[in-house]
Amino acid sequence: MYDDFPAELTTERLYLRRWQPSDAEDHRGLWVERDHRARRRIDADGHPTVEEMREWLIDNPLGAEPGLGLLPIELRTTGEFIGYCGLTVGQATFDEPEIAYELARRAHGHGYATEAARAVVDAAARTGRKRLWASVRQWNAPSFRVLEKLGFENSGQGIADPERGDLVWMTLQLDQA
């Protein structure tokens, strides 16, 4: 019904590709940096370990359900890993997937998230999908700025979470993007 999400995307400054086992340490580094309110973090026992993450990447080099993908982001000039961006079911559906992105702190403030997400939105439209979702914690102002630049709007839906911060659902109609 839909074309597969591509396993590689290139922008002016970025290269998005399949995960490789050698990405495990960098991927784990993102988990270490995450805000303490984030759901998936390195736990008190140090899990997931680099080796556990390496096994996940071997088992699923697209990091998402078949036909979708969360792709590592590299700087084209240096090959440096700076994060990931892509489509996943997450809390949405296969027909209307969720866009997800996360960048290392050292890569914040350079427009990389917007550039990568724009490439993902364009690729999602080429798969034949008509709408994307994004879930963002109320406190995550930088993610809201990225989504607003891409044309996402508040759906009016959300989940109250006094412990970790309310979750806001944003949506984008691709046939209008």
Encode burial over 131-147: b for 16+ CB neighbours within 10 A, e otherwise: bbbbbbbeebeebbebb
Instruction: Kindly report, residue by residue over 49-94, the tens digit of the pLDDT.
Output: 889 889 988 888 888 888 899 999 999 999 999 999 999 998 899 9
Question: Which superfamily, per CATH, for 9-173?
Answer: Gcn5-related N-acetyltransferase (GNAT) (3.40.630.30)
Instruction: Say which residues have a Cβ less than 8 Å from residue 37's Cβ, sequence separation at least 6.
Output: 137, 139, 163, 164, 165
Domain ranges of the chain: 9-173
Q: What is the pTM of this model?
A: 0.90
Helices (H), the chain: 24-33, 50-59, 112-126, 141-150
